[in-house]
Structure 1
């Protein structure tokens, strides 16, 4: 038995027991059914540390004794308080006391988490019973199953002869589309549409601006007043995507990024300006804070992934048939489905000398135009005419700004 180690672990165990016991005491201090408070939990934590110091056999005896105490406590309080939280807390205190012997920092951190969960009884109950609807719970479970169950089972290798269709990558698009829809739904519920949707849009753009355009388009159908904030969210998602676009180009070809800096800046300013236009006439009190539609739709997300897969196949076929010229055309077509992959292709051609700098600059504009065309069509399909016009106008302004600056400012 290492008594020096045990002595160092005892303060952590004592702190864990006192903290958990204090929370239990505060929550049930006036109740006659409270069987374990500050002193009991502190003693149980110390028992756990001392027991593990003597060996695993002694610790198991201590844990069994705590389980018997928890069982006795439940028999006494079952009619007045049928919950098992207090009894589970007893056992956790002993386990954390034993963990403190070998990993006091981890045990202390877990003790704080346990105390927070015990303290948050009322807010968590209100969240699960009153705030979250049955439909939102079903949508959250569907999203979790898609990301944590289906995605790990899909192969990471291409299933086509050209190596462009990777099932796991395509399903990631499905998960992203559903995730963006859920993110926008939660932002609408928590912050309101005027600012919640644009915030959600910008951050979702770092994952997939295409998914954002589709997700916020579907959300805009809930109410007419949501069209403006949803379009602004989609444009801000494209602003975030444009930032990633520039980063991809800079990583592959720094010279091309320097030559395209002003066009990219003009494109970003155009997106920002049009996104602000969608918010100027929206009054927060007129916006519904509770969405009535589903937070996500699996069929909608799968359809988008299938369209992107078709675009990738066509672009790769062009590259195989027509070589370098086909690669440029293929990259432009690929931008219909995946802008950043197309950007890497253009930048690689420039870095390897297969594409002159001036042509590469116009290639960047062509990629933006191709992606904007695809997203505009998607905006009309997912959100209807008003949403499609708003998003299409912002994307067209982005392309126009980039093209005019490329023409006026030499490389």
Structure 2
């Protein structure tokens, strides 16, 4: 990248951040702002010039340039503190220091990182009201859960070794802890989504949220309630229950695609070819049923909730995954590839996530991408087929037939894709 382009990018980042800052403080009295759009553009340009001087002449020129601009920003903020205002925020001063730093890193050879960071900074600054309202809605339990999840993902995970160890080299500590992070993250996301939308949005939204944690639990609970509605149940209630089952059915294979991208990215293409069409069809069906269903479902969502941070259940889930991996490796060693395929498929009957994680840990040198994609598909097929049978049994044949349509659709499409690829 040429020096002229670097200076243009650095100035552009300053303009982007300054645009938000200038609009935010547009009603301030004359001279009351620390910096506006012009000042931020100049700060970005100054950081870019400091970076060019550091690379062309000496790093000390960059240090002196950034230090000088930083002192100016701090002194301006200090003078602003003496103004007789009830509230003076340090945000503009911090944004100014960040703008100088971003101009510097663009000029020394990191333009992509500088642009991404500048856009992110502008987005965060523009979301002041939303973030403050969100913060006011948090409870002590929410803050504790967020801190715990941060410790799991940002502190513990990077420290764990990323290599195979133990019997049959079946255990990768980082991968197993990633399971804990993934499960708690799903629970955390579902909790926050329920806080955002609330039960007033109806049973359909609650079912979709619950399916991010356990689509099986959601489906079986709705099927049981569908049978309870019986012949005397309101048509709107039945339609809403069926729409909830459709939403949970669409979410499950969608969730498995995300999980596959995390634990077995090398097989994502093969897996998506077999599962992707079913995801699209189930999503369209769920949307169509939801549109026809009641708009104001007053019923409570399925009982799948919720501690915002389900740590010990996640650890138990990771232990189960480790046991399945070990058993699969033993079966491979004793009976060959077909034995492991049976184990993975059978596990999908009761926990499709565990089966996919276990399949993703199979040795790649023995299972090619195409074969691994096929094995990953088996637990999804088994889980949908099992739920199809249980919905018909729990809801009754008459009520269950309409509710089981999305399950039948997904099962037939995935089964057909498997047969075609064999």
Q: TM-score range by the shorter chain?
A: 0.5 to 0.7
Match of 1:36 in 2: 34
Q: Is 1:236–1:271's contact at 8 Å kept on the other side of the alignment? A: yes
Report deviation, 1:235.
Answer: 2.3
Is 1:24 the counterpart of 2:26 in the alignment?
Answer: no
Q: Distance in 2 between matches of 1:215 and 1:272?
A: 19
Say whether 1:306 aligns with 2:319: yes
Matches within 5 A, 1:266-345: 283-286=295-298, 293-322=306-335, 326-327=339-340, 329-333=342-346, 335=348, 337-339=354-356
Larger Rg computed on CA atoms: 1
- CA displacement, residues 255-291 of structure 1 (integer Å, 9 cap, x when unaligned): xx99xx8xx89988997799689967554352669x9
Structure 1 pair 218/188, CA: closer, same or farther in 2 (3 Å)?
farther
Q: Distance in 2 between matches of 1:153 and 1:14?
A: 38
Q: Which residue of 2 aligns with 1:127?
A: 134
Q: Which runs of 5+ in 2 are unaligned?
A: 227-236, 369-373
Aligned to 2:189: 183
2:215 maps to 213
Aligned partners of 1:187 and 1:193 also within 8 Å? no
**Which of 250, 253, 270 lines up with 1:236 in the alignment?**
250
Q: Deviations over 1:16-66 (max 9, x none)?
A: 555544543433344347243435444544544555548336415523541
CA displacement at 1:126 relative to structure 2: 1.7
Distance 1:282 1:14, change over 3 A: same
**Are 1:143 and 2:179 an aligned pair?**
no
**Equivalent residues, number:** 372
Sort the Cα spacing of 1:212 and 1:364 in 2 relative to 1 into closer, same or farther, 3 A: closer
- State the Cα RMSD in Å: 5.9
Distance 1:46 1:369, change over 3 A: closer
The whole-number CA distance in structure 1 between the counterparts of 2:66 and 2:377 is 69
CA distance in 2, matches of 1:350, 1:161: 20
* TM-score after normalising by structure 2: 0.60
Gapped regions of structure 1 (runs ≥ 5): 205-210, 352-360
Structure 1 residue 85 displacement after superposition: 1.6
CA contact (8 A) 2:278 2:410 kept: yes
Q: Does the CA-based 8 Å contact 1:59-1:98 persist in structure 2? A: no
The 1-side partners of 2:305 and 2:124 are apart by 30
Identify if the C-alpha distance between structure 1 residues 301 and 50 changes in structure 2 by more than 3 Å, giving closer, same or farther.
closer
Cα separation, partners in 2 of 1:296 and 1:216, compared to 1, 3 Å: farther
* Secondary structure in structure 2 of the residue aligned to 1:286: coil
CA gap 1:296/1:398 in 2 versus in 1, 3 angstroms: farther
Q: State how far apart, in whole Å, the 2-side matches of 1:343 and 1:277 are.
A: 34
Give, in angstroms, the shift of residue 172 of structure 1.
Answer: 2.5
Cα offset, 1:242, TM superposition: 7.8
Shift of 1:216: 5.7
Instruction: From 34, 59, 62, give the equivalent of 2:65.
Output: 59
TM-score, reference length from structure 1? 0.62
